[in-house]
Amino acid sequence: MDAERTAVAVRPVEELPGADGFAQWLARTQDSVREHVDAFVRARCAAELDPAGFALPGRLMVEFAAGGKCVRSVFVYLGWLAGGGGESEPALRAAAGAELLHAFALVQDDVMDQSPVRRGQPSAHLRLTNWHRDQGLSGSSTRFGESAAILLADLYLVWAERMLRESGLPAPALDRVWPRYDAMRSELAVGQLADLTNDANRQPTVGTVLDIARRKSGNYTVRRPLELGAAMAGCDEHVLRVLGDYGDVIGEAFQLRDDLLGIFGDPAATGKPAGDDIRERKATTVLALADQLATPPDRARLRELWRADSIDEHGVALAQSVITDSGARRRAEQMIDDRVEHARRLVADLEPSVGDALYRMALLCTQRAH
């Protein structure tokens, strides 16, 4: 089998002498991931979705699945390369399944958060709601849109696993992956459950918020994908530990950037309304920092704002200035820099081209505008 042969001949990311090489490699890897996802989802839609009698779900699933930045798939593949797997199409296909798992999480998340926008487009449940209304069907269009989106998310979850199982990786590689894969999926759901009970009114500490963020999205974005790929390749314990530590710090840094963008991000770049996390009163790391660092009067204003029935533009501006004045914004930026620097030291232990790629991925994940 191809995967078994390439697993012996290690040739990791050979085109990575510098930034240009990395950018080329990344673009090519992302393209391959998107092609694999596109082909897989089209095939499954053709085989399974037509009986539903309407074309929108299939179109939506194809468009959405390959519409992301492929961060998780790239990390799975880098884990595989760090583990000595060598460039391999089956491993790339297996890695690409992470996009479907992510699509599951996003579609379901948008229903739970009632988010109208995703990647600058109407979210899946909203498109399905509009379809129901346009067709003049009876019953609540909103309920229909949410229910249909939940079912499409189910399909993504099942297909994600199927794509991994049918990737062409040899059975021993898959056997090493399943326990980690199951644990990752449970962790994702349990992390979101914890997040639901993480009530902004109860003023959680920075530690609590970071802990939930780690389980909810940090682990699932960086650490678990890397470990999955490394386990696929049959990686040694030392490399696995380095990847785990790297994943921890960059997962946190990724989340800190997300939280900064949720408060200060440019809507044109993020595709979300300005101050989205403020409007939704999310208990993010940056808010917890502000609550900790602000002067007593500012802290009181912030807490009062968070108890209001709704937050308008004026409230968003107020929160932004209180958070900035408290030093929370600067502190969060510093925490990100510390973590990237920590990651840089960690990856020095890895094969140089893979270490370099991981360092550049750390920069990409933490210095982004969306």
* Binding interface with a second copy (CB under 8 A): 44, 48-49, 51-54, 57, 108, 111-112, 114, 137-139, 143-144, 146-148, 150-152, 154-155, 157-159, 161-162, 165, 171, 178, 182-183, 185-187, 189-190, 192-194, 196-197, 199-201, 215, 307
Shortest spacing between CB 274 and a second copy, in angstroms: 22
Please, which residue, 45 or 336, has the CB nearer to a second copy? Answer: 45
Please, which residue, 58 or 355, has the CB nearer to a second copy? Answer: 58
**Residue 186 burial by Cβ neighbours in a 10 Å radius (0-12, 13-18, 19+):** exposed
Please, which residue, 155 or 361, has the CB nearer to a second copy? Answer: 155
CA pair distance 353, 86, nearest whole angstrom = 12
CB 336 within 8 A of CB 256: yes
Nearest one of 162, 194, 220, 149 to 36, comparing CA atoms: 162
Please, which residue, 87 or 248, has the CB nearer to a second copy? Answer: 248
CB 37 within 8 A of CB 66: yes
Shortest spacing between CB 108 and a second copy, in angstroms: 7
CB 263 within 8 A of CB 278: yes
Please, which residue, 104 or 254, has the CB nearer to a second copy? Answer: 104
Which CA distances in Å does 204 have to 192, 281, 285, 293?
Answer: 16, 13, 9, 14
Shortest spacing between CB 270 and a second copy, in angstroms: 23
Shortest spacing between CB 142 and a second copy, in angstroms: 12
Shortest spacing between CB 193 and a second copy, in angstroms: 5
Tokens (6 digits) for 215: 């389980």
Shortest spacing between CB 136 and a second copy, in angstroms: 9
CB 61 within 8 A of CB 179: no
Nearest one of 146, 142, 124, 230 to 180, comparing CA atoms: 230
Based on DSSP, count helices (H) and strands (E) in the chain, helices before strands. Answer: 18, 2
3-state secondary structure of 272: coil
Nearest one of 72, 240, 239 to 163, comparing CA atoms: 72
Please, which residue, 14 or 154, has the CB nearer to a second copy? Answer: 154
Please, which residue, 267 or 315, has the CB nearer to a second copy? Answer: 315
Shortest spacing between CB 327 and a second copy, in angstroms: 27
